[in-house]
Amino acid sequence: MSSETSKYLKFGSVTVLILFSLAYLAYTGVQDSKSYYVTIKELNGMGNEAYAKRLRVAGNVVPGSIKRSGTRVDFMLKENDLTLPVSYTGTEAPPDTFKDDSQALADGSFGHDGIFHAKQLQAKCASKYAPQPGATPASEPGKSMSQNQSPGSATMPN
On whether both 47 and 28 belong to a single domain, the answer is no
pTM: 0.58
On whether both 72 and 29 belong to a single domain, the answer is no
Q: With beta carbons less than 8 A apart as the criterion, state whether 98 and 121 touch.
A: yes
- Nearest residue to 38 via CA among 15, 20, 54: 54
Give the domain CATH number at 117: 2.40.50.140
On whether both 44 and 20 belong to a single domain, the answer is no
In a domain, 107, yes or no: yes
On whether both 90 and 22 belong to a single domain, the answer is no
Report the C-alpha gap between 82 and 9 in whole angstroms.
62
The predicted-structure confidence for 5-64, as pLDDT tens digits, reads as follows 888 888 888 899 998 988 888 777 766 555 677 888 888 777 777 777 788 888 888 888
On whether both 48 and 99 belong to a single domain, the answer is yes
